[in-house]
């Protein structure tokens, strides 16, 4: 039987037997350990994103299961550097290389939770209950402590008894709406990670 490695097979078919098929030759090449692997990501959905860690802002390509259909649950199974990106040119550091494990970390939060005063555990609650409770706590505190005027009569319209810290990896659009809402309440004790 004709024994031919994959490389010889291509050489033969390319140079002398152009147009022939494997079956016509009557022999399949033996599996080669060094063969070029099939590109497994070809059938996945590719989405462009930016690494959320440091501010080099490396471009990343995320590969997900699911084709965007309504009943398909999109899930990221692989991330690599974007070779078109002018800064990272396809590279990622040890942090960026682990991004898939961030998305799929067992320590991702999944449900709104509540810790009652004095308790040592979380209880799962609904979104409606969570938002209602936070809105109520904020309004009560604001109504009771909002300062409209100083003792000497200056108009200051500030709320100092509730503070807020904003994220450092959330997009601009989150930042903007967060700022718009918190300032409309009169909040001053407001910072982001840039402070530290």
Residues 26-55 that bind another protein (CB under 8 A): 45, 47-55
**158 is a contact residue toward another protein (CB under 8 A):** yes
In this chain, which of 1, 71, 143, 151 binds another protein, going by CB under 8 A?
143
For 159, counting Cβ atoms within 10 Å of its Cβ (0-12 exposed, 13-18 middle, 19+ buried), the class is: buried
CB of 170 to another protein, least distance (A): 5
Residues 67-126 that bind another protein (CB under 8 A): 73-76, 81, 84-89, 91-99, 101-103, 105-120, 122, 125
**22 is a contact residue toward another protein (CB under 8 A):** no
CB of 41 to another protein, least distance (A): 13
CB of 163 to another protein, least distance (A): 5
Tell me if 26 sits within 8 A of 1, measured CB to CB. Answer: no
In this chain, which of 18, 33, 36, 194 binds another protein, going by CB under 8 A?
194
CB of 39 to another protein, least distance (A): 18
Measured from the Cβ of residue 95, the count of other Cβ atoms closer than 10 Å reads 13
**154 is a contact residue toward another protein (CB under 8 A):** yes
In this chain, which of 1, 31, 133, 151 binds another protein, going by CB under 8 A?
133
Closest CA to 160 of 178, 142, 137, 175: 142
CB of 118 to another protein, least distance (A): 5
Tell me if 67 sits within 8 A of 75, measured CB to CB. Answer: no
- How far, in Å, CA of 149 to CA of 66, rounded? 57
Residue number with CB closer to another protein (43 or 143): 143
- How far, in Å, CA of 85 to CA of 91, rounded? 9
Place of tokens 């990622």: 92
**145 is a contact residue toward another protein (CB under 8 A):** yes
Tokens of 77: 């199974």
- How far, in Å, CA of 64 to CA of 45, rounded? 5
């Amino acid at each position: 039987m004709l024994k031919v490695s994959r490389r010889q097979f291509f050489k033969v078919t390319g140079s002398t037997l152009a147009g022939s098929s494997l079956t016509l030759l009557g022999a399949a090449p033996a599996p080669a350990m060094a063969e070029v692997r099939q590109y497994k990501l070809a059938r996945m959905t590719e989405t462009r994103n930016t690494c959320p860690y440091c501010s080099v802002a490396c471009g990343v390509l995320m590969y997900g299961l699911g084709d965007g259909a309504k009943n398909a649950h999109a899930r990221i199974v692989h991330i690599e550097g974007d070779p078109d990106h002018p800064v990272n040119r396809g590279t990622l550091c040890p942090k960026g290389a682990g991004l898939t494990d961030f998305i799929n970390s067992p320590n991702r939060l999944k449900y709104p939770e509540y810790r009652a005063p004095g308790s040592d555990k979380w209880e799962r609650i609904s979104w409606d209950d969570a938002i209602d409770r936070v809105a109520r706590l904020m309004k009560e505190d604001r109504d009771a402590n909002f300062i409209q005027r100083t003792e000497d009569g200056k108009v200051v319209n500030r709320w100092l008894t509730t503070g807020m810290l904003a994220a450092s990896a959330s997009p601009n659009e989150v930042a903007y709406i967060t700022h718009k809402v918190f300032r409309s309440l009169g909040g001053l004790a407001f910072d982001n990670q840039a402070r530290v």
